[in-house]
Homo-oligomer: A and B are copies of this chain.
Amino acid sequence: MAYTHVQTFNPEILYAFDPLNEAGNCSKTHSHNFLEISILLEGEADYLVDGSRQDLRTGTVMLFNPGVKHAERQKEGTFSHQLHIGLTNVSLNGLPRNHFPNKRALLDLGCYADAFMEKAWRVTKEFNEQRSEYQLMGKGLILEMLGLLLRSLEDGSDNTLPPALSQTAVRQQHLVNHAVYYLENHHSEEITLEQLAQQLFVSPAHLS
């Protein structure tokens, strides 16, 4: 089963920025209430990730689920060029909102690493150049990057959590996704809660 339901999977990109970090740069230990992907485009960085300090090199990819603590610092004589992407409105089958199925933040993309980095560089270029429709191009590229991340996590990875939601929560998730989908596809009509409920085979009280 795919993690995504393609029609209703519509993440919001909160930011995509690519700082150049010089020696002395550092961030305190923090976490987010959304999803963050951090990519070392160039250079090296010292990260607190998965509970320990690690020296990370070019090509490292980290995916921080909500609440996962991390920090970084730039050691003397080093620099790094990183891309950080913040995402919300991420709904994967069987997982809590804005969660990916990885246990550890440090990812091993295996055979998908080169394609992933190529897209990361193109996102960087789009967001820096800001040509017309750059946000749409960025969204397309980021959806592909998420697809590659999910593929790498599905390919017999030991870094994949089993579905975390109860059956009831999964049913609720599907109900909400389909309500949004129905609304998206009936823009031009007048819709009542009764009609929406009828489409979803629930009582209107369920939706109000």
Contacts and interface: CB of A to CB of B under 8 A. Distances in A.
Nearest to A133: B147
Interface of A: 2-4, 6-7, 9-10, 12-13, 88-89, 91, 97, 131-133, 135-148, 150-151, 154, 173, 176, 179-180, 183-185, 187-188, 190, 192-193, 208
B135 A6 contact: yes
A89 B132 contact: no
Contacts of A88: 185
Contact of A89 (B91, B142, B185): B185
Contacts of A137: 143-144, 147-148
A143 B190 CA distance: 28
27 contacts: A2-B135, A3-B133, A4-B135, A4-B136, A6-B135, A6-B138, A6-B139, A10-B184, A12-B185, A89-B184, A132-B150, A132-B151, A132-B154, A133-B154, A136-B144, A136-B147, A136-B150, A137-B148, A139-B140, A173-B187, A180-B183, A180-B184, A180-B187, A183-B183, A190-B208, A193-B193, A193-B208
Nearest to A142: B140
Contacts of A173: 187
Contacts of A148: 137
